[in-house]
A and B are shown apart, each in its own frame.
Chain A
């Protein structure tokens, strides 16, 4: 009897655990808490894309994807707990959608040998692959975003911003402070005055900052916000009649959630982005056929085509392409975390590949290398059309000023390497 029970228990444990050949993609998502309204569309996009690959293609290279979702509520401690509780399940890659969580799990993931992809967030200097072997932030970093935004302003101003004032309204956190160093350097280079205005979490009250903006009248306001801070800022900007086309958000301050509350008054608001907008891409036909119509959508299926849904989908797509690359490199479909990292480092995204995936022109073509984990940093400017209720891309692809950013990345990465006792890798 005891033997039977033991066998039964063992068989149940086997059934409950991951199938040996599954490719495990943990999702550190946040569908609850103060930032849920942004976490949900991203998580839905990420989850739906992986479901699509399972349903349409039968997985990656014949291996099904196993998604293990863990709720972080955008809380760094919970995020670390999620990392610890999922890493032993054969996790291939982590994308926590939180700069705070990313900072905390960089040393852990490095020690555990699991790659992190903090796409357009996290520690900017992780773009230096010589120091950060296990961390990637392609196709662009915060510092790229700051540079692209300034380049756009220079373009609007006819090539000269000397004597102008650019204010940075930022979330008073590690995330919000990220672009300051770059903007200080860019202000020296281009001769504009940088004005810094911090907003404390959660950003529901910004009267002081907007009174200051109304008094000092900066020529442009850049925003590094997240969650409630964004719609509140756009509402306050509209209240003080700040010209919306001079108000530019980073890519985490440029979703539909951010402009809705201000209604028509948000018309003209701009944000930088590193991918396309809307649902006019062939992949949406596949999502409809294989995911939403089958009732397999991660959420209510009402987020498709939104900015953050698209971003989640893009993040998942890059992870899947990296896994395919890893399978090619190592000649096996059943890759492990170390192989996945190799795939990420050898990732090459071409325009043809994007078109074949049903996302023509959606993101930039780029390749990752041993030394460069940050991608090209190319951005575009999107603008909110309140009447149509959608963002439209209004610029061509803008390249960041790597002349300024490159040395900053190297400096910060070297400081981290010295502090953490890391010997930078030699990359050819």
Chain B
């Protein structure tokens, strides 16, 4: 196989892997939108908050240390332990469930029957609050996240792909990040688990009932408040997974919340109400943006057009999503909404 073809395949594979990372964030949005019609603006910040909490617990950081020290005159920063990653993840999950409970109790409960835009605005407020609260609790410094996930170049894959080229060609093999492969496996497990949960458990069926029709679900005795806590807890779990994957890649820092920007075109393309749609949308966006960048930055394109174009990924993802919307306004897998007027 020619090196050009192998390069193209490498870009495609990496694009698909990047797409999985976007889909991990998009999943949280879908879960909440599907069950309550709320576009949760705070999903990116939830991923950041989960990752900060995880690192804080792992490294034994004293929460609100700055505040405590300023008020009491003490100088405490760490408890002095290093918690095993598994335990820290479980405790972080507990914190995210607690957060879901508080969100329902303090925000959503008071906004039942309000317009979706009101609920959306509430999540904007929640995002700002949570970002500041996270900073206050765990500080805004960059933190190293290591939960033992494999990372870096897969030498096995590099060696195996090297054999696809002519030995004389001097091809150095394809690059795949082991962390991206791990993320793909985790995302697949997550989607399977969520699908099984919603199809085969009582709580899952209740969730689908609420998603289909709030009023009808309430009339048969399903507790809307319980469903909301449950769904925000699951979204917290998804945020934790996304936070771990992205945090392992870039470190845990305040800009991690901006990964939500990468999830928006995925949602537009895959549909706001479909779990498989988030995955497929992520794959299309990831592969599409990487291939487009590869194409427009190539010497061939430059020679043909005379243009120097780069950094296309951010806008191209949205253009691609908009193109799909022209033909399927509800996204590839979203529910078609027909309203009588």
Please list the residues of chain A having a beta carbon within 8 angstroms of any beta carbon in chain B: 31-37, 40, 172, 196-202, 204-205, 207-208, 211-212, 214-215, 227-228, 231-232, 235, 238-241, 257, 260-261, 263, 265, 295, 299-302
CB distance from A361 to the nearest CB of B (A): 28
Contact B258 A202 (CB under 8 A): yes
CB distance from B167 to the nearest CB of A (A): 19
Task: Give B123-161 interface residues, CB cut-off 8 Å to A.
Answer: 131-132, 135, 139-146, 151-153
Contact A205 B313 (CB under 8 A): yes
B314: Cβ under 8 A from any A Cβ: yes
- Given A211-B175, A211-B294, 10 further pairs, Cβ under 8 A: A31-B140, A199-B311, A204-B256, A204-B259, A231-B250, A232-B249, A238-B152, A260-B142, A263-B146, A265-B152
Contact A208 B135 (CB under 8 A): no
Contact B290 A208 (CB under 8 A): yes
Residue of B21, B77, B253, B293 with highest tally of chain A CB at under 10 A = B253
Please pick, from B131, B140, B314, the residue contacting A37 in the complex, using a CB distance under 8 A. B140
CA distance A73 to B310 in the complex (A): 27
Q: A205-B262, A207-B18, A300-B69 are in contact. Are A231 and B255 (CB under 8 A)?
A: no
Please pick, from A198, A231, A240, the residue contacting B251 in the complex, using a CB distance under 8 A. A231
Contact B255 A257 (CB under 8 A): no
Q: A residues within 8 A CB of B17?
A: 207
Return the chain A residue nearest B143 by Cβ: A260
Interface size class on chain B is 35 or more
Contact A295 B73 (CB under 8 A): yes
CB distance from B180 to the nearest CB of A (A): 8
Please pick, from B15, B65, B77, B255, the residue contacting A228 in the complex, using a CB distance under 8 A. B255
CB distance from A406 to the nearest CB of B (A): 27
Q: B residues within 8 A CB of A199?
A: 311
CB distance from A334 to the nearest CB of B (A): 33
Residue of A31, A202, A215, A238 with highest tally of chain B CB at under 10 A = A202
A-B contact pairs, 14 of them (CB 8 A): A172-B310, A198-B310, A198-B311, A200-B314, A204-B256, A204-B262, A211-B11, A231-B253, A239-B152, A239-B153, A240-B153, A260-B142, A261-B144, A265-B152
Return the chain A residue nearest B140 by Cβ: A36
Q: A residues within 8 A CB of B144?
A: 260-261, 263
Contact B10 A211 (CB under 8 A): yes
CA distance A31 to B139 in the complex (A): 10
Please pick, from A228, A257, A301, the residue contacting B141 in the complex, using a CB distance under 8 A. A257
Q: Ordered nearest first, which 10 A-B pairs have the shortest CB separation?
A: A261-B251, A198-B311, A34-B255, A36-B140, A228-B255, A172-B311, A200-B314, A37-B142, A257-B142, A202-B255
CA distance A76 to B17 in the complex (A): 34
Contact B253 A37 (CB under 8 A): yes
CA distance A211 to B66 in the complex (A): 41
Q: B residues within 8 A CB of A36?
A: 135, 140, 254
Q: A residues within 8 A CB of B256?
A: 204, 228
B7: Cβ under 8 A from any A Cβ: yes
CB distance from A198 to the nearest CB of B (A): 4
Q: B residues within 8 A CB of A261?
A: 142, 144-145, 250-251
B297: Cβ under 8 A from any A Cβ: yes
Q: A36-B135, A257-B141 are in contact. Are A208 and B294 (CB under 8 A)?
A: yes
CA distance A241 to B153 in the complex (A): 8
Q: A172-B311, A204-B259, A231-B142 are in contact. Are A32 and B251 (CB under 8 A)?
A: no
Return the chain B residue nearest A199 by Cβ: B311
Please pick, from B11, B175, B257, the residue contacting A240 in the complex, using a CB distance under 8 A. B175
Return the chain B residue nearest A210 by Cβ: B175
Return the chain A residue nearest B251 by Cβ: A261
Contact B251 A40 (CB under 8 A): no
CA distance A37 to B7 in the complex (A): 36
Q: A211-B11, A232-B250 are in contact. Are A300 and B255 (CB under 8 A)?
A: no
Contact A34 B254 (CB under 8 A): yes
Task: Give B48-79 interface residues, CB cut-off 8 Å to A.
Answer: 65-66, 69, 73, 75, 77
Interface string of B1-34 (1 = CB under 8 A from A): 0000001001100110110010000000000000
Contact B251 A196 (CB under 8 A): no
CB distance from A212 to the nearest CB of B (A): 7
CB distance from A53 to the nearest CB of B (A): 22
Return the chain B residue nearest A227 by Cβ: B255
Return the chain B residue nearest A217 by Cβ: B172
CB distance from B256 to the nearest CB of A (A): 7
Contact B140 A40 (CB under 8 A): yes
Return the chain A residue nearest B262 by Cβ: A205
CA distance A357 to B212 in the complex (A): 71
Return the chain B residue nearest A256 by Cβ: B142
Q: B residues within 8 A CB of A205?
A: 18, 21, 262, 313
Q: B residues within 8 A CB of A172?
A: 310-311
